[in-house]
Chain A
């Protein structure tokens, strides 16, 4: 969900699409495995999650990473929201109903009456205007999240019609406006509280709001011990009430070690935990524990540096050969423990126009003979002797990098290295910290092959094809491959600014046929969203728009 915008791209796409800003994968359901014999429920009214990292802030006007928005979604409320795992329909929340004018730019929201903030302050229209304007004024320097609202709103947009009606007049039509209003950045804060604690200063984040939170949502902040735990307690004043099944305490613990999270989950101390792929075996077949998984749009990519000082990397046959060397099945089985599925090209499964990519069948497979054939044909034969083995490229090593701590990438890298050695290509696998890794990718040419993932900003192939294979000049090439093709650029732009399904499909197909035969990336696959969970936890389902909504949770066996 951490997503950063490319405004230029949006201008084209957004007018024509039913834009769900934060989106769900449109295929297949979730699988759950249930075990026999139910252990006694621990902490029956408390939900405990063991996770990595922690929020950067609790301020809705700053929150952008998923850990921060998670807290904001449960402490604050937005005018409209999503329910369950449905990402298509938008439901009322602080607004009970709304209308849009014929110009598609004037929105009127009727607000829920009698709603109180957790400190007892009454919620009304002035809080709405204050909150939205505040986001635009602060323009959070620490996260830059304000762009989400500023693409269609400014300080004149919001007007108070009466204490329970607000009108929002957009700068320009925006198909996904309601989706924006459902994102955490549009959460409603208490005007009185903010004014009493630093108020609003242009282009400056509010230090108090980073650490404190008072909203109308079902939970209120109990305490936050940095890098240790955040505890939420139920908000007795919540307008939704507390009848029915709800957990009344939420504990999110930071535990960076996988072993800690595994043990906590298996012992029942945790109800929910992030478990890396390689450790899923530790929670498989454990009584009372299940592996929750759901398809996602997160893709795994290998990146070629076509501008490397190793000039053979500029040769498309070399890159094709390398695409044949990569062992896709081993990536699925050994690196991702089966929670990865192949993808033929840039567009992930579940998005429109996926089928334009060779009908969804991957073009490359693990085929060392084919790779050797391609290399020999290009004149890169095994000529250099070292310790009894013959090497290609005068024994020059291909420099493979991954960021340290990422064990899936480590497995893929080392296995790639072994396969390369088998056809006489020397390589060196190295790792470094994330900031150094990014520096290498963006500011140097001292690499030949790297790994990076991609998450969506919006539910359209444009969010994948343009940054992946578009040229830098056309606002693409996010991975710094240095690859560019004029026809592909033309096709990207044609698909972007066109409504016709036929034309868009044709454009993506044409682009695919070019970029897949002169590959700048290895399209390794698409990850599953995978978490470990106790079977006694009810009410959870994965919604990429609002990852966790604790009010729905309760602990019981079904």
Chain B
């Protein structure tokens, strides 16, 4: 289908993007990689009055190690993160996730900031950001990832606010991200991410609720010396997963437990 008509402007900097959003009013949207937004436009599920294109904002395309943190610019594309030696060295789980987003064509366009701002329940990076206590940096403030994602497709972002960067802790230790999906390029029906830090394991789950979940019960059991199997049995505790054409809520709970166990076994 053909999208409904909209105005379009290009921003060359963060400042320009925010100014254009402000001027265009509350029905304006940012377009980054567009790999989720353009399908929504074509289905007319989204009908913005104006698109502010941030693909020309080169200042947001970077990977910067800084102390024990890895700062990644919002316009860094999946394919860049998957290949980046800095990401592979300091946060290989991010590279592993990036290499599993969509397909090569999607990865050539889609961006970190786009996934974060879109806040799809099946998005992969929100899981990493929440489980590692990352910080989302916008043009005006810093927000802890656990406070940033509010609900399905809903974040704390103001209408004229732009995601600029995600600050992750460096984590070079054992890690794994497993997505269960029917076809390679699909969204995860459920995903499980695990990362060993000096302080213990971090475990995150994708698409088991409206937003990414940190599996605190699994982490606590591992901390207390449980086996992977025993710990992973707690992965679905407290979850209220959605039921849809791909999976029932019960099946998602099952997947959460199985994928968490497999991810722990494969990471260690």
A binds B: no
